[in-house]
Structure 1
């Protein structure tokens, strides 16, 4: 078998799609004779017609293309994309030894080939403050908690160009020493900057950071390789 065949077989077993971090775990590279198997896998996927890009960091087998596209996972403004980035963010948190929380309304949504409930490390949010504030935190797309069961970071995955709902949640949580992230397409950065510059959000500007999808993918790949090593 050629190296490419090992990658194709691994992706088939994964339902026809996979991230690089999944392939790094699944592909048998024991006979490849290379010191950089992860780089070889990436090169194979990116340079061969047997594979195509579904999402940033997510690749599919061309033989499964019609089936996968029928799931609408090649588009950005849909449920699959939202849960995909929630899953990536949760896996980054897990690799960094945080407890990760995903809200109840999203737990049955699909992250590649599993439910988000299988990715989050805790089922219920920690009661780290008053109930009237917890009710906002419970709706955040992904929360990382430290070893003291206090929030380290809040992430909102935002497909719209409004951002106001996410910023409203962050406003209610601003008194905590925590990181706030809006995760969206990089093309929406200008719109985000316009909204956050409004006077109503002056107390949030120094605490909320915009991070694009491609940056999340790069962080995910970096953390998964570090975790595997």
Structure 2
């Protein structure tokens, strides 16, 4: 079996689509294909850019052209889909990537109750998070604020290590207000949005109200999150070979 045929086979088995992270973890497991290269992940990235067979849906997510009319709406929204619904699908996609990233890094992952039944790549978000009930790590009002954060990674002591707010079109200001309320915890804060919103993020963060957290909040672009998801999957795919 040729390399591109292996990628097609893995995608077909997954419903006709896959993230690069998923491909990195599964393509090399197909037994009847030899990858005579020292850079198989680069080969996979090259293969999915072959427009004869594949097309890009959004950062990090690819699909088979032969499945274009068969994909579920949360994967490839119809052109007549409402803007609100399309934004919801995008929001959930990046939530899912962040949850998987946290899982890769051995954190305990949590999403708000109202998001748990939303679909990420054919799977409900609650099926990929590792905890269904938030840890009561502090006062009730603090925990309630954390419950509204789009994605939270908890460390081995059940404390919030990193908190992420995905801002597709909503007000970044409101997310920064949440982070201010959590400033007394040794946590990382991150706004995830399209690169075009970086300047808006910087402007909002420069306000006096956010001075206490101005050095602690980072901006991750959608492309950056997808790239980090892909690269992290590459690392965990080869890590067992070098375990000491």
Q: Tell me how far apart the structure 1 counterparts of residues 47 and 35 of structure 2 sit (CA, whole Å).
A: 15
Q: Partner residue of 1:49? A: 52
Q: 2:190 matched to 1:181?
A: yes
Q: 2:103 matched to 1:94?
A: yes
Aligned length: 229
Structure 1 segments of 4+ aligned residues over 6 angstroms from their partners? none
SS state at 2:190 partner? strand
- Flag the structure with more relative contact order, 1 or 2, with Cα contacts below 8 A and sequence separation at least 6: 2
Q: Partner residue of 1:192? A: 201
Change (3 A) 1:157 1:73: farther
From 20, 31, 34, the equivalent of 2:33 is 31
Q: Deviations over 1:154-210 (max 9, x none)?
A: 000111162022112111111111100000011110111121122222222111111
Q: Partner residue of 2:165? A: 156
Are 1:45 and 1:51, in contact at CA under 8 Å, matched by a contact in 2?
A: yes
Q: What is the Cα-based RMSD across aligned positions, in Å?
A: 2.0
Q: Tell me how far apart the structure 2 counterparts of residues 99 and 198 of structure 1 sit (CA, whole Å).
A: 32
Q: Tell me how far apart the structure 2 counterparts of residues 77 and 196 of structure 1 sit (CA, whole Å).
A: 27
Q: 2:73 matched to 1:64?
A: no
Are 1:55 and 1:73, in contact at CA under 8 Å, matched by a contact in 2?
A: no
Specify every segment of 5 or more residues in structure 1 that has no aligned partner in the other structure, as ranges: none
Change (3 A) 1:105 1:69: closer
- Which stretch shows the higher mean deviation, 60-69 or 219-228? 60-69
TM-score by length of 2: 0.87
1:96-115 correspondence runs (5 A): 96-115=105-124
Q: Tell me how far apart the structure 2 counterparts of residues 83 and 223 of structure 1 sit (CA, whole Å).
A: 20
